[in-house]
Structure 1
């Protein structure tokens, strides 16, 4: 791990923290790698719920670092690079921009401070990864169009009113509320929580770009597998391949 993202366990709750406040917690390629590994660790570990937050009150995440651009940001998104059947609660303060919104959106619950501002400015940058389009299935269509196309900030109070987030709290209280919810989730019957999460995700539906990402991930497992290399080697050497399923 680079230190720009940390993973700690508090009882049955995993705490994932973006720690790059000098860059407003903008996502670098290294942070994307770290987050992908962290979600796998969470999926495989004993923690029953996770809180995703950041260091500093000024910014949850300012999106992709435009000085060190990553082109596969989807790998760090909870539930996309790694299948998660355990809930994630995002605790947001300050700026939540572009890819930062995507991280929050794909969490199951979002707690934000009164100072939080949500914005998707990709139209001004000339880049569009597409994952934010999942908002169309989560809020009214006109609000989604406004958010994705106008690129104007939506303050926490309005984000709550239109259903983008679950709670608005005073500055400095977002992590406390998120931890409280995460502990309640962790103390609940795991099978019920997993089933409820799966059904919510199923009924929300998936944007076409999400389906594309999941398909690319599945195909990537094949194209980077040891079995593929073994199959090619066996063909060249005119022998039977010895596949190992990895």
Structure 2
């Protein structure tokens, strides 16, 4: 590898996604994490300080641990990215210039300047989304969880982000409205389409949930709340409880 973590352990040929948890049941809850890895394949050199591969520009800190808790302790099947968002950002549309970012939070990514975008899309973006699409078509879940994390403040825009968790949505807010209320009832500071709006950045859920009419919870947890294994376990438990309650409310509607 060039930077980042060790290659994911997968059976057979490497692919830019992996699944954890039990086999999904029709009408159940599933989880999708577009930025769960900071792995960089050995034939890609990003040209940045390796220390940056452990920061938010490369990976959603804490998300893999929370997803693992949800899958193994609460039986929520998960579809996880196995490559860094700096290689290819799965939560961007194919025609978005930031799908292969030249810079991130004030850091230039030299290896991406002039990179062959079509090759990156073919190697990473399209297989990831094709697999996710086939999975969702087969399962038709009753609720999708889209799990991300956000930094307490961007270096390039250092205003504080006070929310402990944000719930994002675009045009379909069926699940979001319940989720916002339930997280608030748990005593959390909750962002309603904060720290950024799902009306602006919601590519994966637009494509796979809204386009299918599937309700979804777009959850963004502040990274300093899930940066230890113990915190990831607590948040996994909390998200599992909230998601289960939201799913029941949606069924009753």
Relative to the length of structure 2, the TM-score reads 0.30
Which protein is bigger by CA-based radius of gyration? 1
Relative to the length of structure 1, the TM-score reads 0.31
